C-alpha cells in the first residue's frame, strides 16, 4: 500500500506516484481510479490519466461510486477485475463512508491480501485506516469508520502544512491502540507486512499512545490530559516497524 499525505507532484510524473506505478507493474499497470471523494471527478480523472500516461501507463479506468448501491454492485466488481492497482483520490473523506462495509470494501481487502496495490492521497489516505478522521481542529476532532485496509494505523494528511499534530493527538486518544500517522504533502509511506518506508520530500510523524495515560475531560470544552505519549519524526529513507513500534534508518540511507 502507498499512503500519500496529499499534494503529490503530478507535473513530471515523479516521486511517490512513480513508485506507485512501478509497484503496479510499470507500463503493464492497469490502474483503477476511485474518484468518490472528489467533487470534480472529470478534472481529477484527466489529471491522473496525464501523469500516469507520462509514466507509460495506458490503462487507467475510473470507478465512480456515488452511494452504497454502487459500492455493492457487480458492476463495481467488474471494474476491479484485472486491475493491478487502485488509487483513491483526494477530496472530502466523508463521501468515502459509502464504501465502508460494502461488497467493494470486502473485495478490496481480499485483493490486497492477494497482491493488489492500493494507494490513497489526502482524503483517500485517511479513509484507508480502521478509523478515519472526518474533520475538526485541535481537540475538536471528528472521526468515523474507515475502510480498514490498514487496521493498525490512524492516518492524517497535509500534516505539517496545516499544523495537525494537536488533531492527531486528540484522535489517537480515542483509540490508543492505533498508531497515529501524520503525513506531510508530497510524502508517503509504502506499507508492506508489518512495516513501512517513508518516501517523498516531507516528514512522517508517528504518534504512539499505547503506553500513555489519557484522562478525558468531564466537560466537553475542557482539554484532554495526555501523559507519556511517544512521537517519532521520520524523513525519507526511514522505516518503521509497526509490530514492535520502533523506527530506524534504512541501511540504504544510513550515514557512517
**pLDDT tens, position by position, 92-148:** 999 999 999 999 999 999 999 999 999 999 999 999 999 999 999 887 899 999 999
Confidence of residue 11 (pLDDT cuts 50, 70, 90): confident
Does residue 256 have a pLDDT over 60?
A: no
What does the DSSP 8-state code read for residue 47?
A: H
Domain that holds residue 13: 2-249
What letter does residue 229 receive in the DSSP assignment?
Answer: -
**122 given a catalytic annotation:** yes
Q: Which of 8, 18, 185, 197 is catalytic?
A: 185
Write the pLDDT tens digit of every residue in 22-72: 999 999 999 999 999 999 999 999 999 999 999 999 999 999 999 999 999
The grid coordinates of residue 181 equal 500517522
Q: Residue 30: how many CB atoms within 10 A of its CB?
A: 17
CB 186 within 8 A of CB 200: yes
Q: What is the DSSP letter of 95?
A: G
158 belongs to the catalytic site: yes
d(CA 131, CA 250): 29
The number of folded domains in the chain is: 1
Residue 88 placed within a domain: yes
Selecting among 89, 102, 122, 170, the annotated active-site residue is 122
Query: Any idea how long the chain is?
Result: 256
227 inside domain:
yes
Per the CB < 8 A criterion, the answer to whether 208 and 142 are in contact is no
What's the alpha-carbon Rg for the chain, to the nearest Å? 18
What is the predicted pLDDT for the residue at 43?
A: 97
Residue 183 pLDDT > 60: yes
Residue 144 maps to a domain: yes
Sort 212 into a burial class: Cβ within 10 Å, 0-12 / 13-18 / 19+: middle
Could you count the other beta carbons within 10 Å of the beta carbon of residue 26? 13
Query: Which pLDDT belongs to residue 61?
Result: 98
Instruction: Give whole-number Cα distances, 11 to 46, 55, 56, 87, 224, in Å.
Output: 13, 11, 15, 18, 42
Q: Is 38 among the domain residues?
A: yes
Confidence of residue 14 (pLDDT cuts 50, 70, 90): low
Q: Has 47 been annotated as catalytic?
A: no
Least confident segment among 9-13, 89-93, 135-139, 242-246? 9-13
Residue 96 in any domain: the answer is yes
pTM of the model: 0.95
Residue in 8, 158, 170, 205 annotated catalytic: 158
What order of strands is seen across the sheet that includes strand 153-157? 153-157, 179-183, 203-208, 230-235
Percent pLDDT > 90 in the chain is 89
CATH label of the domain that carries residue 155: 3.40.50.880
Is residue 54 situated within a structural domain? yes
3 state DSSP class of 81: coil
Asked whether residue 73 is domain-assigned, the answer is yes
Give φ, ψ of 6 to 5 degrees: 105, 165
Question: Is 254 within a domain?
Answer: no
Amino acid at each position: 500500500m502507498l499512503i500519500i499525505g496529499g499534494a503529490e507532484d503530478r507535473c513530471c510524473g515523479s516521486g511517490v506516484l512513480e513508485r506507485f506505478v512501478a509497484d503496479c507493474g510499470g507500463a503493464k499497470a492497469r490502474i483503477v481510479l476511485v474518484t468518490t471523494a472528489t467533487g470534480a471527478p472529470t478534472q481529477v480523472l484527466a489529471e491522473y490519466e496525464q501523469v500516469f500516461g507520462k509514466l507509460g501507463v495506458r490503462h487507467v479506468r475510473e470507478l465512480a461510486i456515488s452511494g452504497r448501491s454502487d459500492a455493492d454492485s457487480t458492476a463495481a466488481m467488474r471494474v476491479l477485475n484485472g486491475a493491478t492497482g487502485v488509487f483513491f483520490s483526494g477530496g472530502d473523506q466523508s463521501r468515502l463512508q459509502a464504501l465502508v462495509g460494502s461488497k467493494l470494501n470486502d473485495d478490496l481487502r481480499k485483493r490486497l491480501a492477494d497482491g493488489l496495490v492500493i494507494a490513497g492521497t489526502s482524503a483517500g489516505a485517511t479513509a484507508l485506516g480502521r478509523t478515519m478522521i472526518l474533520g475538526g481542529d485541535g481537540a475538536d476532532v471528528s472521526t468515523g469508520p474507515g475502510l480498514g485496509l490498514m487496521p493498525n494505523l490512524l492516518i492524517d494528511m497535509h500534516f505539517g502544512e496545516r499544523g495537525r499534530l494537536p488533531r492527531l493527538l486528540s484522535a489517537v486518544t480515542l483509540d490508543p491502540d492505533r498508531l497515529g500517522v501524520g503525513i506531510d504533502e508530497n510524502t508517503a509511506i509504502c506499507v508492506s507486512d508489518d512495516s513501512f518506508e517513508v518516501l517523498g520530500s516531507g516528514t512522517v510523524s508517528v504518534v504512539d499512545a499505547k503506553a500513555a495515560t489519557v484522562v478525558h475531560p468531564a466537560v466537553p470544552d475542557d482539554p484532554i490530559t495526555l501523559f507519556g505519549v511517544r512521537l517519532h519524526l521520520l524523513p525519507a529513507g526511514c522505516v518503521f516497524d509497526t509490530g514492535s513500534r520502533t523506527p530506524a534508518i534504512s541501511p540504504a540511507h544510513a550515514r557512517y
